[in-house]
Amino acid sequence: MLLPIFLLSAAGFTVLTTEFIIVGLLPSIARDLQVTIPQAGLLVTLFAFTVAAFGPFLTAWFARFERRKLFISVLVMFGLANVLATFAPNIWVMAVARLIPALGLPVFWALASETAVDIVGPEYAGRAIARIGFGIVCATVFGIPVGTLISDAFGWRSAFAILAVIAFAKALLLFIYLPRTNLHQHQVSLRSQFKILRSPLMQGHVLLSILVFSGMFTAYTYLADILERLAGFNGTLVGWCLMGFGAVGLLGNSLGGRAVDRHPLIASMVFCLFLIGGMVAVVPAIHSTFGLAAAMGIWGVTQAALFLVSHVRLMKAAPEAPAFAASLNIAGANLGIGLGAMVGGRVIDTLGLGSVGFAAAGFILVSILLAMLLMTFKPRATCTNS
């Protein structure tokens, strides 16, 4: 039973690395394609907004397809998109290369999560998705920083080329080892899936994901730039810093998986509180080795935990349609990622790079207040219209 989850986790590494690798490559891409950092940051916004706009609809539609073929097709599409990114001559072709995988990410992530929960049962949903999420954390631990190191040594195009090869290799592994699954033959109709959006509680949960991810990516999108310009680190050192940032996320993934099975909203609030502390402390501690390590450590742990907590929180809020609920979280999260990248870019242009942490903390503070409000809702609010 663990082999399918492991394979999906490995595939998830490639899928999420494709989305987030650009965070570490933004300075290089901006220089090579002759655009500003905020303009390059719009590539993050494009990817995120595409996921947000199309994710729930694509997930609801493709939920009826056989999962093995679907997952393999998504990985092949990611491989082709990364090939295009490798040879992109300008920002417009690069934008197309980012648009293509953005259509496949929500389908893969939502349905892989649902498949994992089907295997182990809903009572262990957090831990099952934590195993899938391990691939996401590894994308942060290894994918993004290694991509940055490769970019520094051989150019950012090499990072996308290697990622394309990995995507094709993972598709082959799934073809060979992932069994055909007949799980979830009791498919919920499209109308029934979209009905859960009528619940005020579900609307609140989606808004909570938007706020949390807006806060995280207002600052995280420009973390490599912060380390380069404010700390004075070179590309190699930035890569190692991002490696450490992701490595502590392994702890956050484990803590988040356990905490969310106990109480999703309390888990959200606790991790958000620590996240504020980490993000706000980075710039004041930028010239202190211990202080910067501590601030980035807290930020890394809580950010990884909130990835998982937000995902499981939505699935638990709509047990009658968990894959669609997961896609709503993915949509909300990516809307937040896009908004965060835009807000962070505007803050850099108007207030300076050192202010992005404080702007990010504002989003997170509002999300804590919303989580407190959602705790006053009665549980039956999730099924009043089902």
Instruction: Write down which residue in 177, 203, 223 finishes a domain.
Output: 177
Question: Is the residue at 382 inside a domain?
Answer: no
User: Could you give the CA distance from residue 224 to residue 356 in angstroms, rounded to a whole number?
Assistant: 13
Question: Is the residue at 183 inside a domain?
Answer: no
From the first residue on, what is the mean pLDDT of each consecutive set of 10 residues in the chain (386 residues)? 77 86 87 89 87 84 83 94 95 94 87 72 64 73 79 91 94 82 56 75 91 94 89 85 85 82 89 95 91 94 89 81 80 88 91 92 95 79 40
29 and 103 co-located in one domain: yes
203 and 171 co-located in one domain: no
Q: Helix crossing, 91-120 with 125-138: angle to 10°?
A: 150
Question: Is the residue at 368 inside a domain?
Answer: yes
165 and 261 co-located in one domain: no
149 and 242 co-located in one domain: no
CA-to-CA dists, residue 314 to 54, 117, 126, 188, 260, angstroms: 18, 13, 11, 17, 11
Instruction: Write down which residue in 120, 148, 177 finishes a domain.
Output: 177
Domain that holds residue 73: 1-177
**Per-residue pLDDT at 13:** 87
Whose CA is closest to 325, among 202, 183, 187, 198?
A: 202
173 close to 13: Cβ distance less than 8 angstroms? no
**Per-residue pLDDT at 383:** 41
**Per-residue pLDDT at 21:** 86
250 and 135 co-located in one domain: no
Question: Is the residue at 6 inside a domain?
Answer: yes
**Per-residue pLDDT at 382:** 40
36 and 155 co-located in one domain: yes
Locus of tokens 């957090």: 126
210 and 83 co-located in one domain: no
Count of domains observed in the chain: 2
User: Could you give the CA distance from residue 294 to residue 217 in angstroms, rounded to a whole number?
Assistant: 19
Question: Is the residue at 354 inside a domain?
Answer: yes
14 close to 170: Cβ distance less than 8 angstroms? yes
35 and 67 co-located in one domain: yes
**Per-residue pLDDT at 22:** 87
Whose CA is closest to 217, among 16, 369, 356, 106?
A: 356
Question: Is the residue at 187 inside a domain?
Answer: no
Question: Kind and range of the H or E element at 20?
Answer: helix 2-33
**Per-residue pLDDT at 135:** 76
Question: Is the residue at 74 inside a domain?
Answer: yes
Q: What is the dihedral of CA 352, 43, 315, 245, to 10 degrees?
A: -50
Instruction: Write down which residue in 177, 205, 231 finishes a domain.
Output: 177
The CATH code of the domain that includes 321 is 1.20.1250.20
117 and 232 co-located in one domain: no
Question: Is the residue at 124 inside a domain?
Answer: yes
250 close to 36: Cβ distance less than 8 angstroms? no
237 and 300 co-located in one domain: yes
Q: How far is CA 345 from the centre of its chain?
A: 19
236 and 270 co-located in one domain: yes
User: Could you give the CA distance from residue 159 to residue 29 in angstroms, rounded to a whole number?
Assistant: 11
171 and 247 co-located in one domain: no
- pTM, rounded to two decimals: 0.75
Give the count of beta carbons closer than 10 Å to the beta carbon of residue 181: 15
